[in-house]
Amino acid sequence: MIIRRALSQDATELAEFNINMARETEGVELIPEVITAGVEAMIDNPQMGFYLVVELDNGIQASLMVTTEWSDWRNGMFWWIQSVYVRPQYRRQGLYRELYERVKELAEQEPAICGFRLYVERDNTAAQQTYRSLGMSETEYKLFEELTPGLEYKR
C-alpha cells in the first residue's frame, strides 16, 4: 500500500470518486465537468489544500481531501477532511484508518495545526462509528450554508 498526495493525472479518477460518493451518500448527481474542474483546481493550487490517495493492487482504491480553516480561538489551523471515498470492494479493510493516520503524521510537521474536523451525513452511522473509533468526537455544532445564487454543481 502506498499513500501519497494526488497528482494532476489522478484528477479524473478523483472526480469519479466524488461523483460516486455524492450519489451513494446523498443521492446527488454531481455535474462531471464542474467536479473535475474543482479537483483539478485543488491539485493545481496546493495553498487550497490537498488530496491523499491510497494506491493498492495497481490502482487508486481510496482518497480524501484536506482543506484548512483558521481558528482565532485556538490561534491555529484546523484541517478539514472531506471527499472521503473508498472503493466498495476495499471498504472495512482499514484504508480510511491509514489515510487518517497519514493526515495526522503530516500535521505533526505543521506546528500551526490544532486539530481535525469533518462533516458526515446524519444517517451514515457506519462512517460515524469509524470516526469515533479513531478518536474523533461529535461536536455540538450544526452546519449552515448559503450558496452563491446561480451556482450549479449538481443535477
- Over residues 61-93, the pLDDT tens digits come to 999 999 999 999 999 999 999 999 999 999 999
Give the three-state DSSP class for 128.
helix
Given a cut of 90, whether residue 124 has pLDDT beyond it is no
Which structural domains are found in the chain, ordered by start?
Answer: 2-133 (3.40.630.30)
Across the range 101-108, mean pLDDT stands at 97
What per-residue confidence (pLDDT) applies to 144? 93
Query: pTM for the full model?
Result: 0.92
Given a cut of 90, whether residue 22 has pLDDT beyond it is yes
CB 139 within 8 A of CB 18: no
Reference 16, options 67, 65, 85; nearest CA is 85
CB 29 within 8 A of CB 154: yes
User: What are the pLDDT digits (tens) for 129-146?
Assistant: 999 999 999 999 988 999
